Amino acid sequence: MQIHTTARHCELDPADRAFAEQRLGKLTRFAPDLSEVHLTVTAESYRHIAEITLKLKGKDVVSRETSTEARAAIDLASDALEEQLRRIKGRRVDRSHGKLQNGKSAPADAPAAAGPKDGATDEAMDDDGFDSGTG
Protein backbone atom coordinates (compact mmCIF):
# COMPACT_ATOMS: atom_id res chain seq x y z
CA MET A 1 0.00 0.00 0.00
CA GLN A 2 1.30 3.42 -0.94
CA ILE A 3 0.57 6.49 1.18
CA HIS A 4 0.84 9.87 -0.54
CA THR A 5 0.79 12.98 1.64
CA THR A 6 0.12 16.53 0.49
CA ALA A 7 0.17 19.66 2.66
CA ARG A 8 -1.47 22.81 1.32
CA HIS A 9 -0.73 26.21 2.86
CA CYS A 10 1.10 24.55 5.76
CA GLU A 11 3.96 22.28 6.72
CA LEU A 12 3.21 18.86 8.14
CA ASP A 13 5.44 17.95 11.08
CA PRO A 14 7.35 14.66 10.75
CA ALA A 15 5.54 13.46 13.90
CA ASP A 16 2.14 14.20 12.33
CA ARG A 17 3.21 12.48 9.11
CA ALA A 18 4.34 9.38 11.04
CA PHE A 19 1.08 9.42 13.01
CA ALA A 20 -0.92 9.53 9.77
CA GLU A 21 1.05 6.66 8.21
CA GLN A 22 0.60 4.53 11.34
CA ARG A 23 -3.13 5.30 11.56
CA LEU A 24 -3.77 4.69 7.86
CA GLY A 25 -1.71 1.50 7.87
CA LYS A 26 -4.25 -0.06 10.23
CA LEU A 27 -7.01 0.28 7.62
CA THR A 28 -5.71 -2.74 5.70
CA ARG A 29 -7.42 -4.92 8.33
CA PHE A 30 -10.78 -3.97 6.85
CA ALA A 31 -9.81 -3.88 3.17
CA PRO A 32 -6.98 -6.16 2.06
CA ASP A 33 -7.39 -4.87 -1.51
CA LEU A 34 -6.37 -1.35 -0.41
CA SER A 35 -3.79 -0.22 -2.96
CA GLU A 36 -3.31 3.50 -2.48
CA VAL A 37 -4.03 6.18 0.12
CA HIS A 38 -3.88 9.91 -0.55
CA LEU A 39 -3.89 12.29 2.43
CA THR A 40 -4.32 16.01 1.85
CA VAL A 41 -4.03 18.44 4.77
CA THR A 42 -5.12 22.02 4.08
CA ALA A 43 -4.72 24.96 6.47
CA GLU A 44 -7.26 27.78 6.32
CA SER A 45 -6.83 30.56 8.93
CA TYR A 46 -7.65 28.76 12.20
CA ARG A 47 -8.65 25.30 10.95
CA HIS A 48 -7.05 22.29 9.29
CA ILE A 49 -8.94 20.11 6.83
CA ALA A 50 -7.85 16.52 6.34
CA GLU A 51 -9.12 14.70 3.26
CA ILE A 52 -8.27 11.02 2.85
CA THR A 53 -8.96 9.09 -0.35
CA LEU A 54 -8.62 5.30 -0.42
CA LYS A 55 -8.42 3.35 -3.66
CA LEU A 56 -10.00 -0.07 -3.34
CA LYS A 57 -10.67 -2.63 -6.00
CA GLY A 58 -13.58 -1.16 -7.94
CA LYS A 59 -14.32 1.79 -5.65
CA ASP A 60 -12.86 4.92 -4.06
CA VAL A 61 -13.68 5.86 -0.48
CA VAL A 62 -13.32 9.48 0.68
CA SER A 63 -13.51 11.15 4.07
CA ARG A 64 -13.05 14.84 4.91
CA GLU A 65 -12.91 16.25 8.44
CA THR A 66 -12.08 19.63 9.97
CA SER A 67 -10.38 20.50 13.26
CA THR A 68 -8.22 23.19 14.81
CA GLU A 69 -5.15 20.92 14.68
CA ALA A 70 -3.85 18.82 11.80
CA ARG A 71 -3.40 15.65 13.88
CA ALA A 72 -6.97 15.85 15.22
CA ALA A 73 -8.37 16.32 11.70
CA ILE A 74 -6.39 13.30 10.46
CA ASP A 75 -7.64 11.24 13.40
CA LEU A 76 -11.27 12.20 12.81
CA ALA A 77 -11.05 11.48 9.08
CA SER A 78 -9.43 8.08 9.64
CA ASP A 79 -12.15 7.20 12.20
CA ALA A 80 -14.81 8.00 9.62
CA LEU A 81 -12.98 5.91 7.01
CA GLU A 82 -12.69 3.01 9.42
CA GLU A 83 -16.45 3.05 9.92
CA GLN A 84 -17.06 3.17 6.15
CA LEU A 85 -14.68 0.27 5.60
CA ARG A 86 -16.41 -1.77 8.31
CA ARG A 87 -19.72 -1.31 6.48
CA ILE A 88 -18.15 -2.18 3.12
CA LYS A 89 -16.51 -5.28 4.60
CA GLY A 90 -19.83 -6.32 6.15
CA ARG A 91 -21.56 -6.01 2.78
CA ARG A 92 -18.82 -8.01 1.10
CA VAL A 93 -19.01 -10.77 3.71
CA ASP A 94 -22.83 -10.88 3.54
CA ARG A 95 -22.73 -11.11 -0.24
CA SER A 96 -20.15 -13.88 -0.20
CA HIS A 97 -22.12 -15.90 2.36
CA GLY A 98 -25.31 -15.74 0.27
CA LYS A 99 -27.86 -13.77 2.23
CA LEU A 100 -31.52 -14.28 1.32
CA GLN A 101 -33.74 -11.41 0.18
CA ASN A 102 -35.38 -10.90 3.58
CA GLY A 103 -31.99 -10.32 5.22
CA LYS A 104 -31.76 -13.60 7.11
CA SER A 105 -29.33 -16.31 6.17
CA ALA A 106 -30.65 -19.78 5.37
CA PRO A 107 -29.94 -22.39 8.06
CA ALA A 108 -27.76 -25.27 6.92
CA ASP A 109 -30.35 -27.96 7.81
CA ALA A 110 -33.43 -26.21 6.36
CA PRO A 111 -35.50 -28.17 3.84
CA ALA A 112 -35.05 -27.16 0.23
CA ALA A 113 -38.75 -26.57 -0.52
CA ALA A 114 -42.03 -26.93 1.34
CA GLY A 115 -44.44 -29.62 0.20
CA PRO A 116 -48.07 -29.13 -0.86
CA LYS A 117 -50.45 -27.74 1.77
CA ASP A 118 -53.67 -29.26 3.17
CA GLY A 119 -52.40 -32.83 2.90
CA ALA A 120 -52.72 -32.95 -0.91
CA THR A 121 -50.42 -35.45 -2.55
CA ASP A 122 -48.36 -35.00 -5.67
CA GLU A 123 -50.61 -37.41 -7.62
CA ALA A 124 -53.66 -35.17 -7.04
CA MET A 125 -51.90 -32.08 -8.44
CA ASP A 126 -51.98 -30.88 -12.05
CA ASP A 127 -48.93 -29.67 -13.95
CA ASP A 128 -49.86 -26.13 -12.88
CA GLY A 129 -49.81 -27.06 -9.17
CA PHE A 130 -53.62 -26.96 -8.65
CA ASP A 131 -55.86 -29.75 -7.42
CA SER A 132 -57.25 -31.80 -10.28
CA GLY A 133 -60.73 -31.70 -8.78
CA THR A 134 -61.05 -35.39 -7.95
CA GLY A 135 -63.17 -34.88 -4.93
pLDDT, tens digit, for every residue of 70-129?
999 999 999 999 999 999 888 887 777 775 555 565 555 555 555 555 555 555 555 566
More confident residue, 7 or 133: 7
Give the relative orientation of helices 14-25 and 70-96 as an angle to the nearest 10 degrees.
10
How would you classify the pairing of strands 36-44 and 2-8? parallel
Q: What is the pLDDT of residues 43-60, one digit of tens each?
A: 999 999 999 999 988 889
pLDDT higher than threshold 90 for residue 32: no
Q: Which residue, among 42, 64, 44, has the nearest Cα to 52 in the 3D structure?
A: 64
Closest CA to 34 of 18, 5, 6, 58: 58
Q: What is the pTM of this model?
A: 0.68
Nearest in space to 75 (alpha carbons), one of 35, 7, 36, 27: 27
Angstrom distance (rounded) from CA 109 to CA 96: 19
Output 93 or 35, whichever has higher pLDDT.
Answer: 35
